[in-house]
Amino acid sequence: MSIPDEGQCLDAVQLNRLEQSFREWSDSSSRKDVRLSRRRILIIFLLIRYTGAKLKEVLALNPFEDIDSDRHSVLFGGASKNAEAVSREVQISETLSIEIQEALADPSFQGSLHNLFNVDPAFVRRKFYERAHACGFSKQLGGPEMIRKARAVELLQDNMPLPAVQKMLGHSTPNLTSSYVDFSADDIQQVTRLFIERETLRKTSARNSFFGKIQTIKRGDIQTRVTLTTISGYSVTTVITNDSSDQLALKEGRLITAEVKAPWIILLSGKEKPKSSAENRFNGVIERINKGEVNTEYTLRIADGTALCALVSTESARRLALDPGEQVWALFNCFAVVLHVD
């Protein structure tokens, strides 16, 4: 999976515009039967939009059995008659889960689902194309396959670990890192669930997040050093107080999030790994540079697709003289890392 060039699929803002267009269209008819029909198309869109599933997978769902309101998940392939088919459970946000369950609880909507989601795929595609056109997008960008692709890009750009994205979309993961072996299916599912809920709530202002599992904990007389390994194999080290460690109830093997604010990241140009006292060093490629009068913001992407944001003074930016496409090292010390337990 690779992130395509800009313009090859809708970005997060455009996806939200398209979703709003579907919602307004769903309620705009004066005829009740038409509104019910459109509501089904809206739910089909929302499932593709937020699970990245294929159109045929969504149309094969039994929404009353395959959408779990308690677990906030969707089971794809659960009722497949193909013995070789592999089912997968995909997390959705609590907000979306409640919205779908409220729709399914409506007696009028229930009565309109005599054939469940088994709608003519060509008809669904036409409605997707119409909504894309209404938003000013080309119909190709609004097709179900491109919405699925746009969802994958959105997740990767928001730093969901690549193996979790692959599992969510039903892709095989042949090139697993050694660290991935330490992550069970339940671990991957938990990472996905935490990410989906955080995506909805946006609780933190930190731009740089690493999901991982605690590998080692070394307790000192005042502070504790914690090392976690991400699903992609990167190590992140932090030092926190013993009191903080006790409050978080940290233990080896626990899933945790490490966050670093943009101003705490130091950039060094060059390809060779720098000698530095900073415990955390990541090599990446500059993607974007946003220059201001006082500060300059850099966005770089490391090898596993994770995006990092660094904020430096514009004077320092002039001395660095970096351009998009150049390799750079992002450094931060163990005291710059904040741990979050969800």
Tell me: the pLDDT tens digits for 29-53? 999 999 999 999 999 999 999 999 9
Flag whether 73 is in a domain: yes
Average pLDDT for residues 161-181, to the nearest whole number? 67
Asked, for residue 153, whether it belongs to a domain, the answer is yes
pLDDT of residue 205: 47
Domain that holds residue 315: 262-333
Read off the pLDDT of each residue in 263-290 and give the average, rounded to a whole number: 92
In the chain, the number of structural domains is: 2
Inform me whether the pLDDT recorded for 157 exceeds 90.
no
Asked if the structure places residue 173 within a domain, the reply is no
Domain boundary among 97, 129, 157: 157
In a domain, 78, yes or no: yes
The pLDDT of residue 50: 94
Q: How far is CA 70 from CA 57, 65, 93, 255, in A?
A: 21, 12, 11, 22
**Percent of the chain at pLDDT above 90?**
62
Q: What is the mean pLDDT of residues 136-165?
A: 88
d(CA 342, CA 332): 23
CATH of the domain at 290: 2.40.50.100
- How confident is the model over 88-114, as a mean pLDDT? 92
Query: In Å, how far from its chain's centre is CA 312?
Result: 27
**pTM reported for the whole predicted model:** 0.64
Mean pLDDT of 164-176: 73
Tell me if 182 is assigned to some domain: no
Give pLDDT, residue 270: 84
* CATH number of residue 115's parent domain: 1.10.443.10
Domain boundary among 157, 172, 200: 157
Q: Tell me whether residue 27 is in a domain.
A: yes
CB within 8 Å of 85: residues ≥ 6 apart: 77
Q: Which of 157, 185, 201 is the last residue of a domain?
A: 157
Domain membership of residue 221 (yes or no) is no
